[in-house]
Amino acid sequence: MADVAIKRAVSLPGAAVRERLRTLDDSAVVTAFLGGEERAFQELVERYQTRLLNFVYRTIGDREKAEDLVQEVFIRVHRHLHRFDRSKKFSTWIYTIASNLAKNELRNRSRNPLVLFQTIKKNWQDEERPLQFEDSNSRPDDMYRKRHLRELVEESVERLPEHHKQVFILRELEGKSYEEIAEITACNLGTVKSRLNRARNSFAEIIAPALD
């Protein structure tokens, strides 16, 4: 069934191909790409770019660097897709690549104080920037409160230990199952549950005083 859909997608031109690819699942899109359909890669990028960006951004806390890393993820996917074991889930594979890159980035950052300084400087510039009103109907105090709350949540996530943070984000933001998280982070199921429990407790403890 999927093969028929892929053949149809390949034989159709332009927008019709994109429409057809949109109806396929990840595995079928990967098959189409390996069959020579270049637009299948664009479809994969469209499906995962925002999710990966959020995952990497919440993990490392730097928006620009996160986008660079997501680009790197897709380049590696493009380069090594022929080696992907199609009996497994594509999303798990791509998240594993992103997770490893984010971990490397955090490791490099801990060794290089300059990067830390750049992150602090970026945040300071954000503070200096005037408030941006996304919704003209919102009141300024509401906007300020929301922004303050967002920053509070982001800072609280930042304070979690790295291995807790990844499990926490994969579960709470990306909605991954315990089994998928275990595969992405190369841990066993018990460790994932334990880390998730600790991460939730720590996060609640950190943010609770600010909410009261």
Partner 1 sequence: MTPACSSSRAWQPGSCVTCGNPFRDAAHPRILEPRLHGRVRLCGSYVGFFSPMDCRAFRNQHVAYVDDFLPGEAVVAMQRHLLECERCAAHDAKIRRSLLLFRNLPPVETSPDFYSRLSARIESERAAPKQPMFAARGPGIGMFMGVAASVVTVGYLAAASLHWTAPRGDVVLAPVVATEPAVVAPSVENQALVASVSAGMPVWPMVLFAEQAPMRFAQVQFTRASWKR
Name the minimum Å distance from CB 75 to partner 1. 6
Closest CB to partner 1 among 2 and 75? Answer: 75
Name the minimum Å distance from CB 46 to partner 1. 8
Closest CB to partner 1 among 22 and 150? Answer: 150
Closest CB to partner 1 among 139 and 147? Answer: 147
Name the minimum Å distance from CB 200 to partner 1. 5
Alpha-carbon distance of 153 to 53, in angstroms, equals 18
Alpha-carbon distance of 8 to 24, in angstroms, equals 11
**Residue 192 and residue 167 in contact, taking contact as beta carbons nearer than 8 Å:** yes
Name the minimum Å distance from CB 156 to partner 1. 8
Name the minimum Å distance from CB 5 to partner 1. 24
Helix residue ranges, H only, the chain: 2-11, 14-23, 26-34, 39-60, 63-80, 90-111, 113-128, 140-158, 162-172, 178-185, 189-211
Packing angle, helices 26-34 and 90-111, rounded to 10? 90
Q: Which residues bind partner 1 (CB under 8 A)?
A: 42, 45-46, 49-50, 53-54, 57-58, 63, 66-67, 70-71, 74-75, 78-79, 149-150, 153-154, 156-157, 171-173, 193, 196-197, 200-201, 203-204, 207-208, 211
SS3 content of the chain, % helix, strand, coil (to 5): 80, 0, 20
Closest CB to partner 1 among 49 and 119? Answer: 49
